[in-house]
Amino acid sequence: MNNRKWYREEVARLEQVLHTDLNHGLTWKEAKRRLNYFGPNSLKEGKKINPFFQFLNQFKDFMVLVLLVATLISGLLGEYTDAITIIAIVIINAVLGFVQEFRAEKSLKALKDLTAPNAHVIRDGKLQEISANEVVPGDLVYVEGGDRIPADIRIISSKGLLVDESSLTGESVPVEKTNQMIFNDQISLGDQLNMLFMGTMATRGSCQGIVVATGMDTEMGRIAHLIESSEEIQTPLQQRLEHLGKVLVLLAILLTIAVVVTGISHGQNAYQMFLTGVSLAVAAIPEGLPAIVTIVLALGVQRMIKRRAIVRKLPSVETLGCATAICSDKTGTLTQNKMTVTKIWLDGNERFLTGSGYEPKGEFVQNGKKIDIKNDLFTSRFLELSVMCNHAHLIKKKEKGSFINRKTEWEVVGDPTEGALLVAAAKGGVWREQILSKWEFIEEIPFDSERKRMSVILKNHRNEMMVAVKGAPDVILEHCTHIVWHGKVVPLTPPIKFHVSNKITQFAEQALRTLAIAYKEIPRSSGTGRTMQNIEENLVFVGFHGMIDPPRKEVSQAILDCKRAGIKTIMITGDHQKTAEAIAKQLGMFPPNGRTISGVELDQLSDKEFLQAAEDIYVYARVSPEHKLRIVKALQSKGHVVAMTGDGVNDAPAIKASDIGVSMGITGTDVAKEASALVLSDDNFATIKAAIEEGRSIYDNIRKFIRYLLASNVGEILVMLMAMVAGLPLPLVPIQILWVNLVTDGLPAMALGVDQPEKDTMNRPPRNRKESIFSRGLGWKILSRGFLIGLSTLAAFVLTLQSDPENLVKAQTMAFTTLVMAQLIHVFDCRSERSVFHRNPLQNKMLILAVISSIVLLLGVLYVEGLQPIFRTVPLNLTDWGFVLFFAAIPTFFAGLPHLFKK
C-alpha cells in the first residue's frame, strides 16, 4: 500500500481503498484496531544505550583506570584489604555516576514527551484532538495554518492552504496545495500538490484529508536512515567546564607528581607514595562535575515544568539568567485570554453589558435601565450576526462545588475574541446553535491580516441569502453605505461616519478592543456571479462590540519583580495603539517617559533612528510579525539579551532570532513551539519571570557546588603538598583520601545543586553572558578557602603528632576527621556569595540529610572496629572532637567574620 501513487487517486476512490468515511471518519474501535496493526505513528528512534554499557562507561575515566591498575598492584603485593576497599569505592563512585546520568536521561526524555505534537482528526463524526502517535491510515484529518503535518495525507478539500516542505524537498517557499487529482505518472514530491507529508508545516489556510501512510511508511520514514539520532545538547557552561576539567586534570597531575617526588625525596616509601599520588589525583580531579551539571540542569528543568515552563533546549536555562529584556505578547500572556464584551455601540447608542468571564449571565443596560433584547429588533439582529460569522463554540466544561452549591464552568473552544461574541449573545438569549438551525452555511471568505475582516454567506429555508461580516471597525466602515441609526437603516453620511469613528476611538482609549458587525441581503438573482470584491461592498453597518481581555492578577507583580531584577518588559501587540498603552499603564510597565510606537511609525524610522529610540519604547502596537524580527535585532544591537514570546507561524523568525525564544503552550502553533527554547504551558507572563528566577537559581547553584568541590580538592592537595615540603609523615593514607572524595564530594554537592534561591535572586541585575564561572570573586574564594582547609587540617595533624610523636595513626585520624568536618562545614558557606552567616543553615533539608549521612559514615569509619584497620583510624574522645571541630570551623568562620561585622 505504501508504494501506491495516492496523488493519482480520485477522492471517491480513496474512501473505498482505505475503508473509511469522508463525513464521519473512522470509529474509535476501528482506529484502535488499525493502531494495533500498523503500530504507532512515529519514526524509529536511534539505538538506545544499554544500561549495562552505560554503567561500564563510568570506568573509562583515565584516573579511574590508573586507580584500578594501582589496585591490581596492591593485590599482587598482598595488600588485599587496600585492594578490596579501593575497588569498593570505585564501584560505588561508578554507581553514583550511573544513577546521575540515568536520571538526567529520564528527565530529558520526559521533556521530549511533553513537547510531542498533536493532531486533529474526525472520529465518529466529531472533531477530536489526539496525540500524533495515535493517527492511523484512513483517519480523516483537519489541518490549519501552524500545524505540523502528522502523517502522509491525501487532500480532499482545501482553503488557501500553504505548506512549508523545505524539510523534505528543500523548497524554500511555501507551496500552495489543492485537492485536484494529478494524472502524471512520475512526478517529484515537490510537485505532488494534493499531498501533505509527515513533518512538514502548514503555514496558512486549512484543509481536510485522509491519512494514507503513517510512521516508517511515510516519505519522511523512507529517508529516516539518513537522520541520525539527535546528539545531546551541551550548554556553553558545560563546554567551559569541560575545558576547565582538562586544565584541572593537568594541574592535579603536576601537583600530585610534586607531592610524590617530594615525599620520596624525604624518605617516604615509593610504593606508598605512588598509591598516595594516584589516590590524591583521583580525589583532586572533579570528575563528577559534568554529571552533576547535567543532573542539576535536568532537575532544574523538572522544577520549571512544575512552574509551567517547559524547556526544549538546555542552553536556554543558562541564558535565562542573562535576560535583560522580555518582549511579550499582550493577549493571553499579560492578560487572561478571556475576552469579555463590556460595552456595545449600535443604533447610535452605547450599552453596557454586565457579567465576567465565559459564564453566559449578564444584562444589557442603557442609561441605567435594563434592555429587553426580545423586544429590541436591531440588538437581536446585531447579536445574531455576531454568532453567524463565528467559528467558536461555547460549551459547558464541568461542574464544581458541592451538590447544593454546584457551579457550572463554561469554556470557549476557538478564538477568544469570537468566544466573547458568543458569550455576549448568550447573555441576550441568542445561541449559535439555534441561529444556525435556521440558516444554512453556503460559503466563507476567511479572515486574514491584510483584509482584517471575515464574511460568511448564509441561506434560510425561504431561500433568502445574506452575507454577515465582522472585522476591524475602521475597515468595515469603508465598505458600508448604510447604517442602523436610531431604529432605522439610513445612508451612512459623512457626519454619521465621523461620529462612529469618534466612538471607536473612545472605546480604544478605554482599553477596549473593538469589532464591528455589518450585513447585506443578497438578491437571489446574483447566483454564482458574486465575487469577493462585490460581496463585501455596500454593506449595512450595525454596530460594534467593545471588549477587554482583563490583565492577569499576578502579572503586575511579575513585571515589578522583573524591573527590580534589571529586566525591561516590552509589550508587542497587534492591538490598537491606545488600547495597548492603556493596558500597559494598568500593568505598571509603562514609565512616565515611556513611548508607544505603531507599526506604521516603525516603518518610517531608519535603522539608525530606531536604535536611538529603542530604549525608550515600551509598547509596540499594530505591528506585524515582520516588525518583531526588527525589534529583536535592534534590542540585541543595544546589548540586550532578549526573550521574545510568540504563538503564530509568522512569529517563528523573531522567536528563533531572539536569545530566548518563548512560545505559548495553549495557543501556540507547532511552528512557534519548534522555533522556541521555552514553552509556557499556561501562556502566562508570570511564568517567564518564574523561569528567569529558576534559571538564575540554577546557575547560582552550579557556582555553589563548583566552589565547594574545587575548594575541597585544593584543601586535600595542599595538606599533602605542605606536609611533604615540610618533611612530615603522610597526614592522610591513600584509602582515607579516596574515602573523603566519595563521601564529602557526592551527596553534599548534589544537595547544593538543588539549593533554594536566595531572597535577592531577583533583586540584582542580570548576569553578563560572557562572564567567567569564576567571576565575582569565586576564584579567590576557592583558593583562599581551600588554603585554609588544608592549613587547618595540617595544623590538627602536626599538633597531635607533637603531643604524641609515637602515635602516627592518631595524628592521621585527627587530620582525616578535621578534613572531613572542615568540608562539611564549608558546604554551608557555599550556599551564599556573602558568608555562612547570611542564610539559615537549616533551610536546605537535602543538604542537612547529606551532611548527616556523611557524618554517620565518618563515625562508622572511626568507631566500627572492623573498619578501623581498613581505614587506618582510631576512635576519638570528646576532647579530640573539640580539637577537631575548632580547627574544622576555622576556614568557614574566619572567612565569614568580616561579613558578620558588616551586618
Does 92 fall in a domain?
no
- Look at residues 230, 171, 158, 159 and name the one whose alpha carbon lies nearest to residue 200: 171
Return the higher-pLDDT residue of 106 and 601: 601
Min mean pLDDT across 70-84, 161-175, 785-799, 838-852 is at 70-84
- Look at residues 22, 159, 176, 142 and name the one whose alpha carbon lies nearest to residue 443: 159
Band of the pLDDT at 529, cuts 50, 70, 90? very low
In this prediction, residue 64 carries a pLDDT of 61
Three-state secondary structure call for residue 581 = helix
Band of the pLDDT at 855, cuts 50, 70, 90? very high
What number is the average pLDDT over the span 725-734? 84
What number is the average pLDDT over the span 102-117? 49
Min mean pLDDT across 167-171, 557-561, 843-847 is at 167-171
pLDDT of 136 strictly over 60: yes
Q: Rounded CA gap, 291 and 297, in Å? A: 10
Q: What is the DSSP string of 615-665?
A: GGEEEEES--HHHHHHHHHHHHHTT--EEEEE-SGGGHHHHHHSSEEEEET
The tens digit of pLDDT for each residue in 630-648 reads 999 999 999 999 999 887 6
Shared domain for 381 and 508, answered yes or no, is yes
Cell of 53: 554499557
What number is the average pLDDT over the span 734-757? 81
Q: Please state the domain count of the chain.
A: 4
Q: Rounded CA gap, 746 and 287, in Å? A: 11
pLDDT of 764 strictly over 80: yes
Within 8 A by CB and 6+ apart from 293, the residues are: 235, 237, 238, 241, 702
Q: Rounded CA gap, 126 and 123, in Å? A: 5
Shared domain for 896 and 775, answered yes or no, is yes
Q: Phi and psi at residue 445, in whole multiples of 5°? A: -110, 105
Shared domain for 566 and 658, answered yes or no, is yes
The tens digit of pLDDT for each residue in 470-527 reads 999 999 999 999 999 988 999 999 999 999 999 998 888 787 889 999 999 988 655 5
- Look at residues 549, 555, 611, 602 and name the one whose alpha carbon lies nearest to residue 580: 549
| Residue 205 near residue 158 (C-beta atoms within 8 A) | yes
The tens digit of pLDDT for each residue in 249-274 reads 777 677 778 778 887 887 777 777 77
What number is the average pLDDT over the span 797-806? 91
829 is an active site residue = no
Return the higher-pLDDT residue of 829 and 665: 829
Shared domain for 322 and 387, answered yes or no, is no
Shared domain for 828 and 696, answered yes or no, is yes
Other CB atoms within a 10 A radius of the CB of residue 31 amount to 23
Shared domain for 266 and 283, answered yes or no, is yes
In this prediction, residue 851 carries a pLDDT of 93
In this prediction, residue 759 carries a pLDDT of 82
What number is the average pLDDT over the span 741-764? 82
Shared domain for 350 and 464, answered yes or no, is yes
pLDDT of 666 strictly over 60: yes
Shared domain for 641 and 698, answered yes or no, is no
In this prediction, residue 93 carries a pLDDT of 62
Domain C-terminal end among 488, 523, 548:
548
Does 1 fall in a domain?
no
- Look at residues 206, 108, 90 and name the one whose alpha carbon lies nearest to residue 159: 206
Domain C-terminal end among 548, 575, 592:
548
What number is the average pLDDT over the span 185-199? 82
Residue written as grid cell 516519505: 219
Band of the pLDDT at 897, cuts 50, 70, 90? low
Residue 42 sits in a domain whose CATH number is 2.70.150.10
In this prediction, residue 628 carries a pLDDT of 86
Residue 657 sits in a domain whose CATH number is 3.40.50.1000
Within 8 A by CB and 6+ apart from 14, the residues are: 6, 20, 22, 154, 156, 210, 212
Does 68 fall in a domain?
no
**In DSSP terms, which residues pair with 195 in a beta bridge?**
154
pLDDT of 107 strictly over 70: no
Average pLDDT of the chain, as a whole number? 82
Shared domain for 178 and 263, answered yes or no, is no
Shared domain for 382 and 529, answered yes or no, is yes
Residue 898 sits in a domain whose CATH number is 1.20.1110.10
Band of the pLDDT at 108, cuts 50, 70, 90? very low
Residues 896, 899, 900, 901, CA torsion sign? positive
CA 282 to chain centre: 38
The tens digit of pLDDT for each residue in 592-619 reads 889 999 888 998 999 999 999 999 999 9
Three-state secondary structure call for residue 683 = coil
Does 887 fall in a domain?
yes
- Give the range of the structural domain holding residue 256, as residue numbers without chain letter: 236-304+692-902
pLDDT of 411 strictly over 70: yes
In this prediction, residue 272 carries a pLDDT of 72
Min mean pLDDT across 179-188, 434-443, 759-768, 857-866 is at 179-188
The predicted model scores a pTM of 0.66
Does 537 fall in a domain?
yes
Q: Rounded CA gap, 485 and 156, in Å? A: 45
pLDDT of 408 strictly over 80: no
What number is the average pLDDT over the span 886-891? 92
pLDDT of 237 strictly over 70: no
Shared domain for 289 and 358, answered yes or no, is no
In this prediction, residue 268 carries a pLDDT of 78
Q: Rounded CA gap, 143 and 649, in Å? A: 14
Question: What's the Rg (C-alpha) of the chain?
Answer: 35
pLDDT of 650 strictly over 90: no
Min mean pLDDT across 221-235, 520-534, 826-840 is at 221-235
Domain C-terminal end among 194, 226, 258:
226
- Look at residues 517, 506, 505 and name the one whose alpha carbon lies nearest to residue 471: 517
Cell of 610: 530606531
Band of the pLDDT at 401, cuts 50, 70, 90? very low
Does 79 fall in a domain?
no
In this prediction, residue 402 carries a pLDDT of 43
Residue 481 sits in a domain whose CATH number is 3.40.1110.10
pLDDT of 297 strictly over 60: yes
pLDDT of 343 strictly over 90: yes
Does 97 fall in a domain?
no
In this prediction, residue 636 carries a pLDDT of 92
Shared domain for 439 and 459, answered yes or no, is yes
Min mean pLDDT across 222-226, 269-273, 718-722, 771-775 is at 222-226
Choosing from 147, 164, 329, 561, which is the catalytic residue?
329
Does 85 fall in a domain?
no
In this prediction, residue 398 carries a pLDDT of 59
**Dihedral (Cα; 424, 429, 431, 437), 10-degree rounding:** -150
The segment with the largest mean pLDDT, out of 155-164, 236-245, 840-849, 882-891, is 882-891
